[in-house]
Amino acid sequence: MSINLTLLIVMGVLYACGIYLILERSLTRVLLGLMLLANATNLLILSTGGYAGLAPLFDKETASTQYNDPLPQALILTSIVISFAVTAFMLGIIYRTWALARQDEIQDDLEDRRVARTPSFDAEDDAIVPLETSEFVVTASTPEERLHPEATETPKTASSREGGSA
């Protein structure tokens, strides 16, 4: 199986332009970059299917080597649906940012820059956790003893608590 050189060059240009556009701050350019990447991926999947053959419908007179592989076609259809959903989602985000801020570019967030400058060690998250973290002492061993502790006391401890002598 040989791949068409023109198809490879077109895929490379689409991938390069898509990655370049994704790295921009404008959401519209990010959307265009995602669309170019989706189309380049569709061409890549199409090229894996090989040259065009017969439709993948069974016929007794046709040899099995003459059929076209249906898997790349199914993957491309799936990719088209996913890229349509991502495009619709990005269009919603772009519309919302335009309606709220009247701008299309992502601004620098000062909090993100502050977090990026902090060291990776966090005293609270990286501290050694003790084995027993409970503040409560459990003395009863059965559920009945936990519900009614006075029923399980010995006569000596019950009489000493009442103040009387046994």
Q: What domain range is 39 assigned to?
A: 5-52+68-108
CA gap 63, 54 in Å, rounded? 10
pTM tops 0.75, yes or no: no
Alpha carbon distance 11, 8 (integer Å): 5
Cα–Cα distance measured from residue 137 to residue 165, given in angstroms and rounded to the nearest whole number: 30
Q: Does 146 fall in a domain?
A: no
CATH of the domain at 78: 1.10.287.3510
DSSP assignment letter at 54: B
Q: Per residue of the chain (166 residues), what is the pLDDT tens digit?
A: 566 888 889 999 999 999 999 999 899 999 999 999 999 999 999 888 777 666 667 777 877 777 777 788 899 999 999 999 999 999 999 999 999 888 888 887 888 888 888 777 666 666 676 666 666 665 656 666 666 656 555 555 555 555 555 4
Number of domains in the chain: 1
**Rounded Cα distance, 93 and 5, in Å:** 37
Q: Do 79 and 42 form a contact (C-beta atoms < 8 A)?
A: yes
SS3 state at 41: helix
Residue 115 lies in a domain: no
d(C-alpha 135, C-alpha 123), whole Å? 22
- Classify residue 140: in a domain, yes or no: no
Specify the pLDDT at position 118: 79
Task: Please indicate, yes or no, if residue 32 is contained in any of the structural domains.
Answer: yes
Angle of CA points 107, 26, 88, to nearest 5°: 115
Bridge-partner residues for 35, per DSSP?
none
Indicate the DSSP class of residue 56: S
Identify whether the C-beta of residue 76 lies closer than 8 Å to the C-beta of residue 42: yes
CB 150 within 8 A of CB 158: yes
Q: Nearest 5°: phi and psi at 19?
A: -65, -40
Q: Minimal CA–CA distance to 64: which of 53, 74, 73, 49?
A: 53
Q: Does residue 128 lie within any of the structural domains? A: no
Residue 41 lies in a domain: yes
pLDDT in the model for residue 11: 93
For residue 118, being part of any structural domain is answered with no
What's the CA gap between 53 and 51, in Å, rounded? 6
Domain assignment of residue 153, yes or no = no
